[in-house]
Structure 1
Amino acid sequence: MLKIGDQLPEFKGINQNGETIDSKNLTGKKLVVFFYPKANTPGCTAEACNLRDNDSELKKQGFQLLGVSADPVKSQKNFSEKYELPFDIIADENRDIIEKFGVWQLKKFMGKEFMGVVRTTFVFDENGICTQVIDKVKTKDHAAQILEK
C-alpha cells in the first residue's frame, strides 16, 4: 500500500461519463483519492454522500476529489447521478489503479476470506506527494477526517 511520502502513481482511468482521467493532469491542487468497495452499498453511499455534502468546504481548502472502485462505468454513472456526486469516480474494472495504490487485499467478512478493495483514502499535496493515508475511514464523517490535518 502507498504510504506517506510516496509519489502519486501514474494512471489513466475512465470516469462515470466515459471520459479519461489522467493522473498527469491532477497535480497543482491537493488531491484526495478515495477507494471504496462497491457503488450503491450502504457504507460506500454514506462515504460518497458525506464527501458530496462537504464538497464546497473541501474545494475551499483546495482539495480535488477522485473516487475509485472496481465497478463498471454504468454502475459508476448510476451511483454518481443517483446521489448527485460533484466529483469524478473511476471505473477500475481491471484493478490497475487499485493495485498500484495497494488496496486490493485479503478481506474477512462473516467468517469468509476473499480478495477485495480495502476502503482507503490517500491525500496528496500539489506536487503529488502523499501527505495522509486514512485506512480507518469513518464513512459518515469522512470529510472531517480529511480536513482535520
Structure 2
Amino acid sequence: MRDFEVRGVRVLGASFDSVDENRAFAEKYEYPFPLLCDEDRTLALAFGACSSPEDSYPARLTFLVGPDGVVEYATETPDPAGQAEQILKRLAEPDRA
C-alpha cells in the first residue's frame, strides 16, 4: 500500500455486502484499504460490474480514476494477484498526465 500512498493514490474496494459484513471481512483478511458498501448495486451498475440490481455478485473489475474523476484505466480482474503491479506500472507511464 505504501507504493500507492507515496503517489497520492487511494485504493478502495467495493462489494454488495453490508457495513457489518464488509467490516468483518476486512478484519478477517486484514484489508489495508476501505471497502465500500454497494448494497443497492448503484456503483456496480454505473461501472458495468453488474447488469441488474438483482445480480448476486459483481464482476471483479479494477479502475484507475484520475484526479479529475475520469476513468484512465479499466480491466477485468478474475484473479487479483499481480493487479497492484499492473496499476503501479500504469501510474509510471509517461503519457499519464
Range into which the TM-score falls when normalised by the shorter chain: 0.7 to 0.9
Of 31, 48, 59, 1:102 maps to 48
2:51 and 2:88 map into 1 onto residues whose CA distance is 27
1:86 and 1:130 map into 2 onto residues whose CA distance is 23
Give the TM-score, by structure 1 length.
0.53
1:58 aligned to 2:14?
no
Unaligned ranges ≥5, structure 2: 91-97
Choose between structure 1 and 2: higher strand proportion.
Answer: 1
Deviation at 1:83, TM superposition (A): 2.1
Deviation at 1:69, TM superposition (A): 0.7
- The match for 2:81 is 140
Q: What do residues 59-78 of structure 1 show as CA deviations (whole Å, max 9, x unaligned)?
A: 11221011111011111000
Unaligned ranges ≥5, structure 1: 1-54, 107-114
**Between the two proteins, what is the percent identity of the paired residues?**
30
Give the TM-score, by structure 2 length.
0.79
CA contact (8 A) 2:77 2:83 kept: no
CA contact (8 A) 1:98 1:117 kept: yes
Of 12, 26, 35, 1:89 maps to 35
Which structure carries more relative contact order (alpha carbon 8 Å, separation 6+)? 1
CA contact (8 A) 2:17 2:39 kept: yes
- The match for 1:71 is 17
Matched letter for residue 64 of structure 1 = R
